[in-house]
Amino acid sequence: MKATDIRRGHVILIDGQPCRVMEFTHRTPGNLRAFVQVRLRNLVTGNTFDTRLSATDFVDVAPLETKEFQVLYRDQSGVHVMDTNSYDQHTLDDQAVGDHADWLQPEMHIQVEWLNGRPVGIELPAVVELTVVQTSPVMRSATKTASTKPAKLSNGVTVQVLRAGDAGAMVNQAILANYPLVVRWLAREEAVASGAMALFGEKYGDLVRVVSVGEFSKELCGGTHTGRSGDIGIFKIISEGGVAAGIRRIEAVTGEAAYKHLLSLQDYIQEASSILKTRPDNLLDRISKMLQREKELEKTVSSLQGKLAGGEIEALLNSVKEIKGVKVLSARVDVSDPKGMKDMADMLKERLISGIIVLGSSDGSKSTLTAAVSGDLTKNYHAGNIVKELAKIVGGGGGGRPDMAQAGGPDISKLDEALNKVFEII
Return the pLDDT at 207. Answer: 83
What percentage of the chain has pLDDT greater than the value 90? 22
- Roughly what angle, to the nearest 10 degrees, separates helices 338-352 and 283-317? 40
How many Cβ atoms sit within 10 Å of the Cβ of residue 218? 19
Answer whether 247's CB lies under 8 Å from 202's CB: no
Q: Are residues 323 and 401 in the same domain?
A: yes
Residues in the chain: 426
Model-level pTM?
A: 0.41
Answer whether 373's CB lies under 8 Å from 356's CB: yes
Q: Which range scores top for mean pLDDT: 305-309, 399-403, 418-422?
A: 418-422
Q: Looking at the domain assignment, is residue 285 inside a domain?
A: no
Q: How far lies 222's CA from each of 133, 183, 209, 229, in Å?
A: 22, 10, 6, 17
Q: Are residues 142 and 252 in the same domain?
A: yes
Q: Are residues 244 and 133 in the same domain?
A: yes
Q: Looking at the domain assignment, is residue 306 inside a domain?
A: no
Distance CA(161)–CA(201), nearest Å, equals 24
CATH number at residue 117: 2.40.50.140
Average pLDDT (129-147) is: 34
Last residue of a domain, which of 239, 256, 273? 256
* Helix extents (H) in 276-321: 283-317
Q: Looking at the domain assignment, is residue 243 inside a domain?
A: yes
Return the pLDDT at 41. Answer: 82
Answer whether 386's CB lies under 8 Å from 326's CB: no
Residue 153 has pLDDT above 50, yes or no: no
Q: Looking at the domain assignment, is residue 26 inside a domain?
A: yes
Distance CA(310)–CA(308), nearest Å, equals 5
Q: How far lies 420's CA from each of 40, 85, 372, 374, 414, in Å?
A: 53, 24, 16, 20, 10
| Cα-Cα-Cα-Cα dihedral sign, residues 91, 93, 99, 102 | positive
Q: Looking at the domain assignment, is residue 295 inside a domain?
A: no
Q: Are residues 81 and 12 in the same domain?
A: no
CATH number at residue 239: 3.30.980.10
pLDDT in tens, 16-73: 888 888 777 777 665 556 778 888 888 777 788 888 888 888 888 888 888 888 888 7
Answer whether 229's CB lies under 8 Å from 174's CB: yes
Average pLDDT (332-338) is: 81
Return the pLDDT at 321. Answer: 93
pLDDT in tens, 227-282: 888 988 999 988 877 665 556 678 888 888 899 999 999 999 999 999 999 999 99
The pLDDT-based confidence of 219 (bands split at 50, 70, 90) is confident
Segments forming the whole domain that contains residue 19 = 3-61
Q: Are residues 116 and 150 in the same domain?
A: no
Q: Are residues 135 and 81 in the same domain?
A: no
Q: Looking at the domain assignment, is residue 110 inside a domain?
A: yes
Q: Looking at the domain assignment, is residue 199 inside a domain?
A: yes
Q: Are residues 317 and 378 in the same domain?
A: yes
Nearest to 112 by CA among 92, 136, 130, 135: 92
- Roughly what angle, to the nearest 10 degrees, separates helices 415-425 and 383-393? 140
Q: Looking at the domain assignment, is residue 189 inside a domain?
A: yes
3-state secondary structure of 350: helix
Answer whether 186's CB lies under 8 Å from 192's CB: no
Q: Are residues 135 and 251 in the same domain?
A: yes
Q: Are residues 109 and 143 in the same domain?
A: no
Answer whether 204's CB lies under 8 Å from 220's CB: yes
Q: Are residues 181 and 92 in the same domain?
A: no
Q: Are residues 339 and 251 in the same domain?
A: no
Please count the structural domains in the chain.
4
CATH number at residue 380: 3.10.310.40
Q: Are residues 135 and 252 in the same domain?
A: yes
Average pLDDT (371-375) is: 94
